[in-house]
Amino acid sequence: MNKVSRNTYTGITLAGGQSRRYGTPKALETLDEEPFYKRSIRSLQPIVDKQILVVHPSLQLQMSQEYKGFMITDEPEFAGHGPLAGIFSAMNQVTTSHYIVLACDMPLMDTETLQLLKAVQPFALEESCIVPVVEGRTQPLAAIYPASAKRVIYHLLTSEKRRLTDLLNHLSCMYIRFESPRRISAFQNVNTPKDYLQITKSQFDDLN
């Protein structure tokens, strides 16, 4: 078994969703001429030791032409089984003490907000995950997970339990509330074209 150094962090950008509600691959959508997945990678870069990008197989060739970092698809055993499969597949590739998971469809996420989460981790139990709560909703796809979460995720996947709430219910979690408008906006999720229009409008309004 690989020895895990304490307080090492790997960033996991999840860009493997099928974007059914959006209609086109969200990972490749742009804001300020920058693809969503690259915005996620950029926000993680200053606070992690390594990064890994989990992509949908249909996008792997196209994205590999413009991104030269570490890129994977889901482990074959769990291919297409949702975010838990992506998180497990990344954990299976990189050994580290903690993983900062970020879905690519939060294009307003910034390093400072993620750093606030990371700053809390030393005060939590060693095996705890750090999960934001925004307007009463947990945000498990912008959270920090310990290495020990890997075996829990594997158990859930093999039991055909794919919900993120199942994962949180099986882990010790510290929940961190974000209440300022700036922090709340960082967690805005783009699921539909309407969501995207709202974000671009808010960006335009902020400039005027």
Of 37, 45, 24, nearest to 71 by C-alpha is 37
Of 65, 80, 83, 74, nearest to 28 by C-alpha is 65
Phi-psi region of 10 (alpha: psi -120 to 50; beta: other; left: phi over 0): beta
Please tell me the predicted confidence (pLDDT) of residue 20: 80
Of 110, 115, 120, 101, nearest to 185 by C-alpha is 110
**Is the separation of the CB atoms in 18 and 56 below 8 Å?**
yes
**Is the separation of the CB atoms in 130 and 122 below 8 Å?**
no
CB neighbours of 155 closer than 8 A, spacing ≥ 6?
A: 170
pLDDT tens sequence across 142-161? 999 999 999 999 999 999 99
Question: Which residues in the chain show pLDDT less than 70?
Answer: 1-5, 203-208
pTM above 0.85, yes or no: yes
**Is the separation of the CB atoms in 139 and 164 below 8 Å?**
no
Please tell me the predicted confidence (pLDDT) of residue 1: 40
Please tell me the predicted confidence (pLDDT) of residue 122: 85
In angstroms, rounded to a whole number, what is the distance separating the alpha carbons of residues 36 and 119?
25
Domains of the chain (ranges; CATH) run: 9-207 (3.90.550.10)
In angstroms, rounded to a whole number, what is the distance separating the alpha carbons of residues 197 and 186?
16
